[in-house]
Structure 1
Amino acid sequence: MADHQDLEKAEQTPAIVNADDGKHDSQTSSADSQQHELEDNSNVPKLGFLRLFWLFLSRFGIFAWGGPVAQIALLKDELVIKQKWITISRFNRVFAVYQILPGPEAAELCMFFGCLSGGRLGGIAAGLGFILPGFLLMLLASYLYTIVGFGNKYVNASFRALQPMVAAMMFRAIHKISEHVLISHRTKELNPWLVGYALFTALNSALRINWFISLAVYGLINMAVARRLFSVAALLFILQYVAYGVYVHFKGVPSPLSLALGIAPKPDVGHLFGLGLVSGSLSFGGAFTAIPFIQAEAVLKGGWMLQQAFIDCIAIGNVLPAPLVIFATFVGFYGGNSYGGIGYAFAGAVVITLGMFFPCFLFVIAGHNLLERLVRNKFLAAGFDGLCGSVIGVIAIVAFQLLSASVDYKGHSSTLSSEEQYRLASQNALAAVIFVLALGAQYMFRNRFSIILLVLSGALAGQFLFI
């Protein structure tokens, strides 16, 4: 990101015209060279649809282990450093655009390279090649979970150990995303405005103010702050709580269901596609941002998915070679199965996945250059920054909810004997220990395969701890 900022400054600095024509020519040549670096595609091979599909399937899709950082590093090493499709400078600038926009950055970068090589159809081919292996594996995992997982004590024991690990991954994700979102790239210090947006969004969640309202309010507030319209920002901030007070006076305190919009009251194919589409359109900061929206719709509002099953699918998504948003495939399969059986489950998995990835396909295929100009607009960028700051608060609330569900599992405690209640309390204590260990391990070990090894070790440990 620092390179990206330096490049922008360099572009915006006018050439200094001296009496010495040689110096002026040298500076002009340097500026031309820098611009050439950003736009030169002369090394990009022209490939057809099938060749691009196979390239991104065989070189990146089946090796997309270790999460977005490892996936992006693989793309950069192969296509930028080794094959030199584009310069590192341009790669950094392109990556900066996709960090701000919703959707998994690794998939968007694949589509970007595909567009350079084969036009819009090439972008579609590259995206499909990258996503397909993880989708098929998640489809298989969803099927196996459905026919084996429910009621199987061995499967349940493994996932009982994995659930606190998922909560730990969420807390680690908050830290990583905050380093990008809440720290100013100019001053390298915490931006107090963005920190405030995150804290007040978390407060709004406690007050049961819909997340979409908070995202819109703090995006607009930051746009006003960027223009130094502090009175407008203050008015917007106060109005949200005035409106809340009026609502409480006439309607009472909102229920927990108010955090969702009711996009998927039932898991038929139309509602599942809509759930994927909305979640994919709002996944600023990557997959971890999509988690709260899908949880609110499927678990809280819709009530057609169990909280424990939802946590399980996130754990599965962490060990597959795919963007983490592939967990939505599991949600669609689970919902479709509960709505119409196994045959309907496959349709549900397909449509929610299409909805989830459609926005990032649209953003990239519609035109990267237009997006780049929009994102570099300071006024619009301020809105994105405010929205991203607010997202941190949303993820934090859901992380605490997942932690609570995983370490304070009650089961049917009212019908349990005193001995069974003691056993359940012991298991909850073990889950809390697993959470602490998993969180510490993520800070100690940063290898691309560390998360996969962590999840596999947790699944194995569950066989000894929870049976």
Structure 2
Amino acid sequence: MPESAYPIPPSDSNPQDAAVPRDSILNEFGHQISFREAVHVWLRIAMLSFGGPAGQIAVMHRILVDEKRWVSESLFLHALNYCMVLPGPEAQQLATYIGWLLHGVKGGLVAGGLFILPGFVSILVLSVLYAGYQDATLVQALFFGIKAAVLAIVLQAVIRIGKRALKNAYMYALATLAFVAIFFFAVPFPIVIVTAAVIGLLGRHVDPERFVVIKGHDAPEDADRAIDAMIDGGATHHTQATWTRALKVLAIWLPLWLIPLIVLTTTLGFDDVFTQVGFFFSKLAVVTFGGAYSVLAYMAQEAVQNYGWLAPGEMLDGLGMAETTPGPLIQVVQFVGFMGAFRDAGPLDPFTAGILASILATWVTFVPCFLWIFLGAPYVEKLRGNQTVSAALSAVTAAVVGVMLNLAIWFAVHVAFDEVNTVEAFGMQLLVPTWSSIQIASVVLALGAFIAILRFKVGMLPVIFVSAVLGIAYFLLFGGAAAL
């Protein structure tokens, strides 16, 4: 085989080595990463993917950038920025993207699929236990404590993302407007996001310096990283962008996403719970910008108030499941779908209906994620440093902070009070709690969890574990009526 060489930066040990045979680069940095080794690494990442997107991305960075040295810092961050532009869980899409760069479509499927699998199995088991034994004292006590910890985690997320996104008065104004729109006027979440993106695009022409908060990244600097070396050496032919390839991706992934919805509609009708689950979470899959936290308020509003699948407190229970299991937080859709079908099973056994709806909700949520990556990833390099994309992303991220603040207040009210009413007046809506229904124990647990996380930097899992234990102890000592 001829040795077609391509340039790489000379190493310190051999400055004269300005060109290395392509085959040796691939052997050293590419082919040594066998598909089998990659599967093991992606499974390891999946099993450690606790703590929401921030924790999951940190785990991937530590393993892929620092430990395995598969990808450079700049390429990792560039890929992450692209995934943040997309709807859906950015951590799962980042794994899919890097897996695809390394081993093509099968690499992306394994990386993204394994990222989902542990959480799917865990939440399915917990959903069955929750639906079957929710009235049991131990299960009620467990989620009584978890709710308080989840509230503290949501508040921390608002603060963390706010510090990153709200760099100037424009971003603060966008966050405030988003909060007012969704909290007081119930403006649908997709409209808030689209409006923010448009404002960002227009703002780039008014004040580009302050509207581009989330910056692009320069070209990869570390040619000694496996994927960077493969890209620089032209060894990633599967990443080439062509119309033929794009049409092929659409021809495969659109039917995988839409055909189940068509079959459900034609066989069961629009009013069946399975059809509603399929269409609702398909819609959610295209508007889930900013991660699970940002869309939970919208999901809760629809699932609780419109479809009646859940009670408000049960939404917190579902988020508690997603927080305490590996995988994307948006996996909470699985719990919502399970409970909706469990309570409206029709001719099916409730548990069978719940399991099927759980699979359906997961399918229509994550199939679009693979579509976005496989279709758009070849064009990612064209987005590197693009000011227009950065301005839109900056504005959307600022609006997401306002939406998350709405979510935090919604959660806080439902954790602190047993009875909460929605009052509408002058075109606005307000959450009005019944003060006599205040849950002192929940407030104390949430405050303790918040202090532990924010002041003492205690990890998420220890906080949730301790909160759950204290919740069980309080519930058992003082009785279910006092706690709930």
Shorter-chain TM band = 0.7 to 0.9
Contact (CA 8 Å) 2:45, 2:115: kept in 1 or not? yes
Q: Is the 8 A contact 2:189 2:295 kept in 1?
A: no
The code of the aligned residue for 1:373 comes to K
Kindly indicate whether residue 53 of structure 2 is the aligned counterpart of residue 56 of structure 1: no
Partner Cα distance (1:336, 1:50) in 2: 38
Matches within 5 A, 1:219-298: 219-228=197-206, 268-298=273-303
- Aligned residue number for residue 443 of structure 2: 432
1:214 is aligned to 2:192: yes
Distance 2:405 2:270 in 1: 25
Letter in structure 1 aligned against 2:88: G
What is the deviation of 1:211?
A: 2.9
Alignment of 1:156-171 (within 5 A): 156-171=140-155
Name the CA shift for 1:127/1:223 in 2 (closer, same or farther; >3 Å).
same
Name structure 1 gaps, 5 residues minimum. 1-28, 34-39, 183-189, 234-263, 413-423
Mapped to 2, the partners of 1:104 and 1:75 lie a distance apart of 14
Q: In structure 2, which of residues 344, 365, 376 is the aligned counterpart of residue 339 of structure 1? A: 344
CA distance in 2, matches of 1:81, 1:411: 48
Tell me if the contact between 2:294 and 2:407 (Cα under 8 Å) persists in the aligned partners: no
How far apart in 2 are the matches of 1:456 and 1:199? 34
1:49/1:274 CA distance change after superposition, 3 Å: farther
1:134-186 Cα offsets, whole Å, 9 max, x none, are 1101111111111111x22222122222223222221111111212222xxxx
Structure 2 alignment gaps of length 5 or more = 1-14, 20-25, 212-268, 422-434, 480-484
- Name the structure 2 match of 1:199: 176
1:35-114 paired onto structure 2 within 5 Å: 43-45=29-31, 52-57=38-43, 59-114=44-99
| Cα distance between partner residues in 2 of 1:41 and 1:84 | 15
1:219 to 1:72, Cα distance in 2 relative to 1, 3 A: closer
Equivalent residues of 1:267, 1:335 under 8 A apart: no
Q: C-alpha offsets along residues 181-203 of structure 1, whole Å, 9 cap, x if unaligned? A: 22xxxxxxx22112111111221
Residues 389, 89 of structure 1: alpha-carbon distance in 2 compared, 3 angstrom cutoff: closer
Paired residues of 1:299 and 1:306 also in contact (CA < 8 A):
yes
**1:385-464 alignment, distance < 5 Å:** 385-410=394-419, 428-446=439-457, 450-464=459-473
Check the 8 A contact 2:414/2:420 in 1, yes or no: no
What is the Cα deviation at residue 85 of structure 1? Answer: 1.8
Determine if contact 1:79/1:85 at 8 Å carries over to the other structure.
Answer: yes
Q: Pick from 133, 144, 159: which aligns with 2:118? A: 133
User: Which residue number corresponds to residue 16 of structure 1?
Assistant: none
Instruction: Name the counterpart of 1:417.
Output: none
Per-residue CA deviation, residues 110-151 of structure 1 (Å, 9 max, x unaligned), is 2122112221122011111221111101111111111111x2
Equivalent residue for 1:124, pick from 109, 112, 117: 109
Number of aligned residues: 378
Q: Percent identity?
A: 24
TM-score, normalization by structure 1: 0.73
Task: Name the counterpart of 2:246.
Answer: none
SS of equivalent residue, structure 2 residue 186: coil
- Which residue is equivalent to 1:383? 392
What SS does the aligned partner of 1:318 have?
Answer: helix
> 1:389 deviation in Å?
1.8
Distance 1:79-1:142 versus aligned 2 partners, 3 A rule: same
Contact 1:65 1:320 in 2 (8 A): yes
| CA distance in structure 2 between the aligned counterparts of 1:165 and 1:302, rounded to whole angstroms | 27
Question: AA paired with 1:81?
Answer: D
SS at match of 1:112: helix
Residues 317, 324 of structure 1: 8 Å contact kept: yes
Aligned counterparts of 1:163 and 1:265: Cα–Cα separation in 2: 34
Task: Kindly report which structure 2 residues correspond to 1:304-319, keeping only aligned pairs within 5 A, or say none.
Answer: 304-319=309-324
Match of 2:100, SS state, is helix
CA RMSD, aligned part only?
3.1
Decide which moves more: 273-282 or 46-55.
46-55
Distance in 2 (alpha carbons) for counterparts of 1:170 and 1:460: 20
For 2:310 and 2:60, the matched residues in 1 are separated by 35
Deviation at 1:428, TM superposition (A): 0.7
Whole-Å separation in 2 of the counterparts to 1:50 and 1:159 = 39
Contact kept? 1:110, 1:123, Cα under 8 Å: yes
TM-fit CA distance, 1:41: 11
Deviations 1:30-80 (A, max 9, x none): xx99xxxxxx997234777776445422x2222223333332233223222
8 Å contact 1:46–1:117 — kept in the other structure? no
Moved more, 308-317 or 220-229: 220-229
- Counterpart CA distance in 2 for 1:377 and 1:411 is 46
TM-score, normalised relative to structure 2: 0.71
Q: Which amino acid aligns with 1:195?
A: Y
- Tell me which amino acid in the other structure corresponds to 2:205: R
Deviation at 1:425, TM superposition (A): 5.4
Determine which of 164, 178, 183 is the counterpart of 2:162.
Answer: 178
